[in-house]
Amino acid sequence: MSPSLPLVTTAERRHRLGRRHRLAPSARATTVARAADAVVALHATDAATVYLSARARLTEGSPATIEQAFYKDVSVVRLLSMRNTLFAVSAELAPYVDASTARGIAAKERRAFLKHLDEDGQSLDADWLARAEAAALAALDLQGASTGSQISAAVPALRQKITIGRGKKYETETGVATRVIRLLAADGRIRRDRPRGSWTSSQFRWVHTQPRPALPAAEARAEIARRWLHAYGPATEADLAWWTGWTLTDVRKALAAVGPDQVRLDNGSTALVGPGDTGPEPAPEPWAALLPGLDPSGMGWADRSFHLDPAYRPALFDYAGNIGPTVWWNGEIVGGWAQRPDGEIVWRLLGAAGRAAETAISAEAARLAQWVGDARVTPRFRTPLERELVV
């Protein structure tokens, strides 16, 4: 490692996180799309997570404000993309995420489903699937926004059942409706509309939409890599490979197209930043944040040691590596939080953080409680500390 490389300290990495992830109050975004762009994409597997992640990064705005961005303005959309996971991205970035990642996932999902149809032995094939998809789209055109159950009720083919793993220990019978709807969504031919119930509900309605414009995959991956480096750099190619789910070859080609700069880190290793992004990062004002499970600021790197004490990991992650609700102070995870059945927001520090931190965290917890109101939030992936706190 060359000593002439610019040094980015751990403190500066935390400064970057606070400002670039829009978590410091002075850096908060004015729109949901800008909040999403700040971290490239908001994790959307859990319906409540995307709302809570956006809330933490907005200057102001109620759940209705976020709902409008998704379902009226459509300035933010959900895509099955990085790591075969559901993310919410700005409409501007969506074609790049689609071309870089979602297209390949959609093709893989289709191949897997067609294989299941072939193995089932009921003469269900690609032609049957095409007819079923066309019938589902026609039903949406006729009915308007509909849940999966409502689409199935209107399309007899979607009430078909198939057997997966016939004759094997894991043999199971399953309906095709969910898989067909998933394929249509992955292809960008339908999108999620307002759910039934509140903003915490995962029972989405679906609407027919037009596929996104096609972009060259290499160009799209380079744009994603450029944006990701700005949001998450300093970082490594291993971090980008983990975050995207791309092959290492695709990661290296995308980074080569971007032309990142190399920097030194406190621990003696090297990492990458965007071209020219090597200057010092001034500290923002002191800030606290209560972020939901799966929030991008906690899941953006394979190596999170600069903002997470490894000793805290067992309390804050589930067995599969999903991060739970976290408490942050000046760019560092210092504890976790939960909402009890009566609506109270409770939190716990995992180490000493100081009186200023406790005061700021208490104020942020009160702000979160007021924003959530009567809604109740239970993370989809529950962690040891979150379970302890709700008792």
- Cβ neighbour number for residue 30 with a 10 Å cutoff: 12
DSSP state of 102: I
- Over its length of 391 residues, how does the chain's per-residue pLDDT go in tens digits? 566 899 999 999 999 999 999 999 999 999 999 999 999 999 999 999 999 999 999 999 999 999 999 999 999 999 999 999 999 999 999 999 999 999 999 999 999 999 999 888 888 899 999 999 999 999 999 999 999 999 999 999 999 999 887 777 878 888 999 999 999 999 999 999 999 999 999 999 999 998 888 899 999 999 999 999 999 999 999 999 999 999 999 999 999 999 999 999 999 999 999 999 999 999 999 999 999 999 999 999 999 999 999 999 999 999 999 999 999 999 999 999 999 999 999 999 999 999 999 999 999 999 999 999 999 999 999 999 999 999 8
Radius of gyration of the chain (CA): 22
Q: To 5 degrees, how large is the angle CA 339–CA 340–CA 346?
A: 60
Whether the Cβ atoms of residue 125 and residue 114 lie closer than 8 Å to each other: yes
Please report how many Cα atoms fall inside a 13 Å half-sphere around the Cα of residue 183, on the Cβ side: 21
The amino acid at residue 223 is E
Distance CA 85, CA 96 (A): 16
Domain ranges of the chain: 288-390
Greatest Cα-to-Cα distance within the chain, rounded to the nearest angstrom: 68
237 by Cβ neighbours in 10 Å (0-12 / 13-18 / 19+) ranks as middle
DSSP per-residue codes, 45-101? SSHHHHHHHHHHHBSS--HHHHHHHHHTS--EEEEE-GGG-EEEEETTTHHHHIIII
**What is the pTM assigned to this prediction?**
0.94
Whether the Cβ atoms of residue 26 and residue 282 lie closer than 8 Å to each other: no
C-alpha distance across the termini of the chain, in Å: 50
Whether the Cβ atoms of residue 237 and residue 248 lie closer than 8 Å to each other: yes
